[in-house]
Each structure stands twice: as C-alpha cells, then as structure tokens.
Amino acid sequence: MLKMNKSAFSNKAAWESAGIKFPAYDREAMIRKTTQNPRWLHFGTGNIFRAFIARLQQRLLDEGKTETGIIAASAYDYEVFDKVYKPYDNLTISAGLKPDGEIVLELVASIAEAMRADEGRERLREIARAPSLQIMSFCITEKGYALADMRGELFEHIKRDMEGGPEVARHTMTLAAALLLERFRANPGGAPIALLSLDNCSRNGDRLKESVLRVARAWAEAGLAEKDFVSYVEDGGKVSSPWSMVDKITPRPSEAVRDHLKEKGVEGMDLILTTKGTYVAPFVNAEIPEYLVIEDDFPAGRPPLEDAGVYFTDRETVEKVERMKVTTCLNPLHTALAVFGCLLGYNAIASEMKDPLLKALVERIGYVEGMSVVTDPGIFSPKDFIREVLENRFPNPFIPDMPQRIATDTSQKIPIRYGETIKSYMKRPDLDAGGLTGIPLVIAGWFRYLLALDDNLEPMELSNDPMLAELKKGLAGIEAGKPETYDGQLRPFLSNEALFAVDLFSVSSVSSASSAGLGEKIEGLFVEMLAGKGAVAETLKKTLGG
C-alpha cells in the first residue's frame, strides 16, 4: 500500500509504478531552504490552491528553476488543515480529469510548511519579518475580502479585530494587515512585498489592498499602529497589489477519483465534509485547462512562473482578460447553470449542457450579450476561450462539478458577473441595456431559487451565502405557486447598487415605447416563475424561444 506522507520519498519507484508522477527534487532540502529564507506565504488552503498554484511551484522545483516552496496558512476552516494537511505531511495528489476519462495523477510536494493561523501566529510573524519574503498571496473567495455588509456596516468580527488591534486579528484581511505591520516594524522603512489576490473577482488586487488599508487606517487612528505604517501600505513601490485572473474549474473531490486511487493502492483517500461545509479530500481533482494572468508588479521579486505557464503582463491586459472571463466567458455562465440547475433538479454541470434550454441560455449570455462588451485582451481570443468553455470544459462528464457548489455565495458574485456587463451596456449608445434577456432571466431565477423550492415545488436546500438570512427576510410572504403573493418584495434589492453594481430600475430600454426598466423586466420574469409547477422551465422556454 502507498501512504501519502514523508515516508513516500523512500518509496519513489512504487508511486511511479502506480502511474503517479513523483517530484523530481529533494523535498527535505526544499523545506530547509524555505524555512531559512521564505519567499512565498499563501492564505487559503483549499482545492484550487492545491490543484493549481502549488502545482505551478512544483513545476519550477522539478525543473530546478527555484529552490523554495510555498508556506500555506489557513485563517478560516481549520478542519482542512487538521484533516488533509497535517496527517499527510502537507502532501496532496493532483488528479487532472480529461474529457476522454483519463486521470492524470501527480504527487504534489511543493507546500514546504502549513499551519493554522491561530496556532502558528508566532511563526507567521517570523515569516512576515523575513526580508526574503516576496509574496503574500490569497485564495479565499470573493467574500474573504469583504469587511462590511451591503449597507456598509462593518461585520462584527471585523469590528472586533479593528478595535482589538493587530495582536488579536483573526480574519484573513486583518491578519494580513497585522503581518504587514510586523514587516514594517522589523525592517527600517518597511521591506517591499507583493500582496497577490488569486481569487475570481474584478480588480482583485484593488479589493485586497483596499481592505488591508482600511484596517491599517483604523489601527493608526486608534493609536494601535504608527501613522507611517499607513504610508507604507499605501506606497505601491513598497506594498504592491497586482491584479490577476485565475481560471481552473476545481470541483468537490470525486468518489470516482477516490476509488481510482484506492485501486492503485493509495491509503487514506476518504472524502471529508467539514463542519463549515467545505468538501475536501487528501487528493484534489480538477480539469486540465488552466489560465493564470498576473500584472507583473513584484517589488521584492518573484519566482519565474512564466516558465510554468503563467502570463505576466500589464494591468490593462489583466483587466481585459479578467473582464473577459469573470463578466462574460465563464463565471456568468457558471452562475446561470448553478441557479437553474438547482431549480430544475440537476446535480452536474455537464448534464445541464445537454438541456437545450440551459445550453441556449448560456450561449445567449456568452456569445450574444456578454461578447458585445468584451475587449480582446490580445494574449488569447475571447471567442476561442468561450468556445472551449461551452464545447469542452462545461460538457466534460468526468468533471464532477455540481450547480449546488457553484451557487455558493451568489450574492457576492452577482455584481461582478452581471452588474459589470449591464454597466458596460449603459455606457455604450449603440447597445440597449434594457433589452437584455439572458441576464435578467438569471437574476429573476436567482430570486426564485432563494424561495428554497425547486420547479416541482419540492423543498430544496440552499447553498451557503453570507446574505442568505437578509435575502430570505426580504422575500418573506412570497410563495412559489402563488404569483399573487408578490407585492414588490424584490424592489429594495433590485435598486441596491451594492448588490447589482447598478440600480436596475434606472436601466431603461431604448428600443421599446414602454418606459419600463430592467428592474421591471426582472420582476415580471420572477412572477412568471411563481405560476406553479414547471413555471421556471416554461419561463425559460417562452423567453428564449425554445
């Protein structure tokens, strides 16, 4: 049997004979050099980090283009560390899933050190002080950067950290600020570093920098940090925050992959659901295609990740690529399939792509509505990208991705995935924002989803969302199957620019004699979806002409 821990390095031949690619470098030497001169500290120990980012560094290590690995820290779901990092000596197995069913396996060992932020505080401070540190990166999802709710009020845990100061900081953003303060105090004038967001959100570097700066300013105003510390964080020449675009579909761990690994003799590959609702395993499965585009702004230097397939470019190009992917070519399509997949009883994204109505919906949003406002980034073609998504990636039957997973935190995704496109339409005199069809369908469908009844009016479990309680409260009184129970409950949400990036009632159609706006259109579609059993599918059919 093959045990995934440090003892594996005395049994390389057995791993390779099982068809699992083995690291080509001296891991103990890598760990020693990383400990002595840390260069990369990463927050967020989830699946995409292990499936993509850690593999990029492994590629450089294998080719002798770097000598150090990544130090990973978790400040959120500590069970991930306790159950899939610590027992396996920070090793993981990457399983790449090809459309023909082939599974490409690799033992990833580039994570030199990992820790829980609550237990590793002193070590994190030590790492932050090290002049050798070049990067502090983050894979914490869009909501990980949020400090306040949709009304602009600080979350209680953020308020606690701001009032308590750097010594008690526990949230990832306040902890990042605390570590920067440690670095500032330990190095005269403050040693340079790059704060690198690797999450799917528009202008992610700015969101990260703004959150850390807000904490730094609060501490300085309260006398908990020096005034010069704020200047240090503000100075892009000292603390940069490059934008990035990351793309690799990394679904929940698959039972099929687990069974495949067990057949190969790998022990301890059980699937785990943490108490916070995170699906993990000692392995991580993902699609083969992957894209990472980063603004090349690293004041302390960086690994040569371009040799591992990363695109380094300027901010303008990153923004074009990010907007292409996040607002048009992938993420909006994913969210559309998530919302309607849940409502229509699907359990796999690939299965949804066989549904003519859902296929027509995402093709309309992508090829027609979104493509109208996409600027070609120049490094790859938007049309080729979206074609790969819709013809190869989403339909891949071996990617066990579920609409229920994609539906998580939808409130945090809506303004970026749809609001930005609507705003782009409003800026263009040749485009009619009020005439959009697919996007309003998804927004209406999302509100229908929030009623927690599927299209057969059967109870349906909702995915986690930080605004779920507030949304459900606002929709109180609406009953699926009874359209007469709608009495304008959506209007406060549809007019909320924090939620949709624009007041949707201010978006009127220029091609219609009616003065009705996009908000009214969404209300009308929502009411249609309340008509009874099958009303969601019928609304899709009627609206899309199916």
| 353-367 confidence digits (pLDDT tens) | 999 999 999 999 999
The pLDDT value given to residue 149: 83
The pLDDT value given to residue 328: 87
Distance of CA 105 to the CA centre of its chain: 24
pLDDT band, residue 511 (cuts 50/70/90):
low
First-to-last C-alpha distance (Å) of the chain: 54
Over residues 140-185, the pLDDT tens digits come to: 988 899 999 878 899 999 999 999 999 999 999 999 999 999 999 9
Question: Alpha helix (H) ranges present in 49-97?
Answer: 54-62, 78-80
Over residues 28-80, the pLDDT tens digits come to: 999 999 999 999 999 999 999 999 999 999 999 999 999 999 999 999 999 99
- State which of 227-241, 311-325, 415-429 shows the largest mean pLDDT: 227-241
pLDDT band, residue 506 (cuts 50/70/90):
confident
Kindly report the pTM of this predicted structure: 0.84
The pLDDT value given to residue 327: 86
Percent of the chain with pLDDT over 70: 98
Mean pLDDT of 452-458: 98
- Residue 510: is its pLDDT beyond 70? no
Residue 378 and residue 140: Cα distance in Å, rounded? 29
Q: Which two tokens stand for residue 73?
A: 């820290």
How does the average pLDDT of the chain come out, rounded?
94
- Residue 97: is its pLDDT beyond 80? yes
Residue 499 and residue 413: Cα distance in Å, rounded? 9
- Residue 514: is its pLDDT beyond 50? no
- Residue 25: is its pLDDT beyond 80? yes
pLDDT band, residue 201 (cuts 50/70/90):
confident
C-alpha distances (whole Å) from 410 to each of 140, 341, 464 are 15, 14, 9
Residue 301: what are its φ and ψ, rounded to 5°? 90, 175
- Residue 515: is its pLDDT beyond 80? no
Residue 283 and residue 272: Cα distance in Å, rounded? 11
The pLDDT value given to residue 507: 83
The pLDDT value given to residue 546: 58
- Residue 509: is its pLDDT beyond 80? no
Q: Is 516 exposed, middle or buried (0-12, 13-18, 19+ CB in 10 A)?
A: middle
